[in-house]
Amino acid sequence: MSVSEQSTVDRGNSIEEEKNTSGEITKEQKWKVLIATSTSSFWVIGLMQSFGIWQRHYGSQAAVKDGIIRQSNMIERPVISTIGSFGNGGLIAAFAILYFPYLPRFGKRIREICIIATTLMAVGFGTAAASTHLWMLLLTQGLLVGLGGGIFLSTLAPILPEYFDKHSGLAQGVSLASASAGGTVLSLATPELLDHIGSRATLGVMCSISIILGAIVSALAQPPRRFTRRSNKMVNWKTFKDPMFTLLFLANLLHPLSVSNPATFGPEFSEALGLSKQRGSVILAIVSAVGLPARLVTGHVSDLVGHQNMLLLATAVYAVGVWGFWYSAAAIKSEGLWIGFSVLYGIINGTFNTVVNSAQKRLFGDEVYYPYNGAMTSIRGIGYFISLPIAGSLVRRVEDDKLDTEAFKKPICYTGIVLTLSVACLVSVRSLDGKRVGWKWAR
């Protein structure tokens, strides 16, 4: 039986789902998997959300004075963005379609896998501290840190909802709230470290923290649950004949093309508005801070109103915010609109990642959860990998002190168009699901 056929059998069949059971889960296991995933999210996603600080720093004279980049590197905004694109874990995620079906097997070695991830991140930051050119940062802070972070995100995140059948949305909300906490702390702490101890020492601090937090995660990580039936077959082209799968696949590509743009280019946009570097850092911290309670609420509410509904609502609100607030802020140079958009973005930013695994698990069932999730994670990984270089290439190639808000209109429009297409895909998925299993409010 193909993966596509297995999905058809599983979808909407509650009797079959009840039969496909696993062993009992203890409270200790739940706490361990939640703490491990939340800790990795705090650090890895926190680094991603605060990368805008590094984006601004590597485009400044301060980085040149530290000798970590050259004068000519300052205007290489697409390359600087690629450091963040590498560092967001997209490289590992892009190959999830190949290894996700086997995650229940090699996931038994989850602690050893986490140790490898910790080593890669620590070595990446440590060697980045010795950089003298932008390409060195690309290979170290970008590639090595990204490989380590990608291993954490691509193994721990899909395991988490399996340990929380009834409250998977809330559990993922806690994990992503931890990411918001990490983004808040790093958005405020990183510029202070850069100002007081310089680029190299700051990267050394990042190396030390990676070792400490990575050790905690490695000690607490839990393997995937053992279900009586698991498919280890990769999705094939026949699977794409299912329009619901294909549309959700497209939505998983479109999401990462837009999700990081406001956070990554936010500090530079703030400076283009005439705000100080410190104020720009505070606004970025606000984005993460408001996301902390929002993700807890989002996870809990999505368990009540339906994960698909929450995905659609959040994406639609994000799209309206980009067109109505961010673009308007650039057009009329409004600090108020920019702060308003930043708060809105912070509230809905993590919704997709908070509930998407639960939504896909509900749509396709436990048996094909990993093969299907692998395909979705792969396309998200590709999206994360190419998103920031695309957006960065749309920003005018000048030094930061010469930027104005007009320089950001193209990436803002690009973000808005991508989100509008994503809304269309999610509306279609919701409609097709309603026709297949019957219309229910909480879905």
CA atoms within 13 A on the CB side of 370: 26
Residue with tokens 């602690």: 111
CA torsion, points 194, 196, 197, 199, in degrees to nearest 10?
Answer: 20
Reply yes or no on whether the pLDDT at 19 is more than 80.
Answer: no
**Segment 337-374, tens digit of pLDDT:** 999 999 999 888 878 877 887 788 777 776 677 788 88
CA separation, residue 173 to residues 186, 293, 296 (Å): 20, 9, 5
**Alpha-carbon distance 95 to 114, whole Å?**
18
Q: What is the arithmetic mean of pLDDT over 233-251?
A: 85
Report the pLDDT value the prediction gives residue 7, as an integer from 0 to 100: 45
CA distance 323 to 287: 18
Reply yes or no on whether the pLDDT at 167 is more than 60: yes
Q: Is the pLDDT of residue 260 over 90?
A: no
pLDDT value at 8 more than 50? no
Taking the domain 28-437, which CATH number applies? 1.20.1250.20
Flag whether pLDDT at 271 surpasses 70: yes
What percentage of the chain's residues is helix, strand, coil (to nearest 5)? Answer: 80, 0, 15
Range with lowest mean pLDDT among 32-41, 86-95, 304-313: 86-95
Amino acid at 423: V
| pLDDT (0 to 100) of residue 10 | 45
Q: Count how many Cα atoms sit within 13 Å of the Cα of residue 205 in the half-sphere of its side chain.
A: 15
| pLDDT tens, position by position, 217-240 | 999 999 887 655 555 677 778 888
Region 285-291: what's the mean pLDDT?
A: 83
Q: Residue 20: is its pLDDT beyond 50?
A: no
User: What are the domain boundaries of the chain?
Assistant: 28-437
pLDDT digits (tens, 9 = 90+) for 172-202: 778 888 988 898 899 889 999 999 999 999 9
Q: What pLDDT was estimated at residue 13?
A: 41
Neighbours of 273 (CB within 10 A): 22
Q: Is the pLDDT of residue 78 over 90?
A: no
- Tokens 């509230």: give the residue: 347
Angle between helices 243-259 and 369-394 (to 10 degrees): 40
**What pLDDT, on the 0 to 100 scale, is given for residue 1?**
43
Q: What percent of the chain has pLDDT over 90?
A: 34
Mean pLDDT of 85-101: 75
Structure-model confidence comparison of residues 100 and 159, the more confident one: 159
**What residue type is assigned to position 407 of the chain?**
A
Q: What does residue 213 show for φ and ψ, rounded to 5 degrees?
A: -70, -35
pLDDT at 441: 66
